[in-house]
Amino acid sequence: MKYNPDCIYFKGHVPCNPHKQNGYHCEDCPAYTKVSKRILIIKLGAIGDVIRTTPLVVKFKNEFPNCKITWLTWTPDILPASKIDEILKWDINSVMYAQNSKWDIAINLDKEKEAGALLNSINATEKYGFTLKDNEIQPINTLALHKFLTGMFDDVSKSNTKSYLQEIFEICGYTHNGEPYLMDTHDDKGYVWDLPKDKKIIGLNTGCGGRWTTRLWTIEKWVNLVKLLKNQHPDAVILLLGGEAENERNKEIQKKTGATYLGYFSLYEFINLVNQCHLIVTQVTMGMHITLALGKKIVLMNNIFNPHEFDLFGKGEIVQPNKTCKCFYRGSCVDGISCMEELPPEKIAEAVKKYY
């Protein structure tokens, strides 16, 4: 019997969907669609960086209809299986598969040596991004040089006026033209939230992760912000968001303000909870990337990063401390007192009012 390994629906180890749904066989299958390009994306982590790389999928699907995209990552659960043909977790099995396949386009957007080594070792007609050369990670061509240098030198990074999306699109030889993030809402999982359906929900994502704690805003300032927002938007629900690390913090804020706090949840549940919100106030965290991927309005608190890096798609604005930050990409404050102390809650509340 005939089979078509060049068909976009072909799986080999199990029946394809057209066969399962309609009983088709390859010799006379009306659903047969030849793969136009086989594209490998290597973007391992962190979760937020994986999310904000998904607009490339939109670009490739538009440029090459019927292309087959394979994505290799540490965090496969964050990627939408309905939009990406193959999503693989980085392990020896996936690496062997990548190394023993033929790709039309292969892209590595990570500067981990193992990711560069993989790009160096695979068979691809076109390669983009970062590779391993002379035992070190380096740009594979001049398209990746700008992004490479911004990671090497703080002064170059500070003077950069390109967003992350502009940079990764340029690495691949394209221009970012508003291609959106991709993410499943997980509405189909049946999650039920104790939230009113007839009120707007303002989500406050109160954590900042453990790497760059210079971003952290005090509990007192969150308490003051909740009080301001309650007066400013009396019909809104003020919802506290976060993970396990923010649990005690959010309980204290809830106790002092009466804000709504439902607890912390799994990744899919957290994404779905964010999807219930109208607007999110957040630091530069995974929560920021999820907010943007879901197309929500956003007020982004930033101090230690270049604000040009972030594309909010016209859905909000970046609010920074009144004091200029000296701690560019630093986890500890050079002055001993974080400039976040100079970000007044009134400034955040005013931004929320503009986008509410």
- pLDDT > 70 fraction of the chain, expressed in percent and rounded: 95
Which amino acid, residue 84? Answer: I
| Residue 202 tokens, joined | 């303002």
Q: What average pLDDT does the chain have?
A: 94
User: What confidence tens digit (pLDDT) does each residue in 179-227 have?
Assistant: 999 999 999 999 999 999 999 999 999 988 766 567 789 999 999 999 9
| Residue 319 tokens, joined | 């609010």
C-alpha of 263 from chain center = 23
Q: What confidence category does residue 340 fall into, taking pLDDT thresholds of 50, 70 and 90? A: confident
Domain ranges of the chain: 35-171, 199-355
Q: What confidence category does residue 49 fall into, taking pLDDT thresholds of 50, 70 and 90? A: very high
Q: What is the CATH number of domain 35-171?
A: 3.40.50.720
User: What confidence tens digit (pLDDT) does each residue in 38-47 have?
Assistant: 999 999 988 9
User: What confidence tens digit (pLDDT) does each residue in 286-335 have?
Assistant: 999 999 999 999 999 998 788 999 999 999 999 998 877 666 666 666 66
What's the pLDDT score for residue 251?
98
State the average pLDDT over residues 30-41. Answer: 97
Q: Is domain 199-355 annotated with CATH 3.10.20.30? A: no
| Residue 84 tokens, joined | 């990406």
State the average pLDDT over residues 4-21. Answer: 95
Asked whether the predicted pLDDT for residue 112 surpasses 80, the reply is yes
Asked whether the predicted pLDDT for residue 177 surpasses 70, the reply is yes
What's the pLDDT score for residue 164?
96
What's the pLDDT score for residue 213?
67
79: CB partners within 8 A, 6+ apart: 50, 54, 71, 73, 87, 182
Measure the CA–CA gap between 12 and 18, rounded to whole angstroms: 13
CATH fold match for the domains 35-171 and 199-355? yes
Measure the CA–CA gap between 9 and 18, rounded to whole angstroms: 8
